[in-house]
Amino acid sequence: MRLLIAATAVALAISTAAAEPPTLGSGPMRSSGMSMGSQTMTIHHQVADYAKWRVAYDADQSNRKAAGLTNCRVQRSMDDANDVLISCDMADLTKAKSFTSSKALADTMSKAGVIGKPQFMYLTAPK
């Protein structure tokens, strides 16, 4: 499953914008307009209750923006709706790593019902 998630994240990082954005199980996916050399950060984790988690995730938008993370896309496993993958365009690796290691994010994830340790990946498209 982790290999499939990593492959999905890589595919997102190197995809090009489509005329009509595809619709995923969690809602419409916005076209990223990414170009070669773009950077993506992914977060993969389990949550106790997706609906509760989603409220906390949506409320944390300002912190993602401050970390230089934009065009975030939330996806859920088709086999387990509480298995969540988030992919964001990343403007600054240092800011993104600072965000993912912050106590504020850890507290937000804990209150949102994240189970276990989240997995963070920092990806770049080939130039």
Q: Which two tokens stand for residue 70?
A: 């934009």
Structure tokens at 76: 């859920």
User: Which amino acid appears at position 4 of this protein?
Assistant: L
Give the tokens for residue 41: 């950060």
User: Which of 124, 109, 127 is CA-nearest to residue 45?
Assistant: 109
Instruction: Quote the pLDDT of residue 127.
Output: 80
Domains parsed from the chain with CATH numbers? 2-14+37-124 (3.30.70.100)
The answer to whether 42 and 48 have CB atoms below 8 angstroms apart is no
CA angle (52, 120, 58) in 5-degree steps: 30
Distances (CA, A) of 91 to 23, 65, 81: 25, 10, 29
Provide the 10 A C-beta neighbour count for residue 84: 22
- Residue whose token pair is 């809602």: 27
Q: For residues 71 and 107, what is the distance between their CA atoms, to the nearest angstrom?
A: 23
pLDDT in tens, the chain (127 residues): 444 444 444 444 433 333 233 333 333 333 344 444 599 999 999 999 999 999 999 999 999 999 999 999 999 999 999 999 999 999 999 999 999 999 999 999 999 999 999 999 999 988 8
Residue 37: its pLDDT value, please?
55
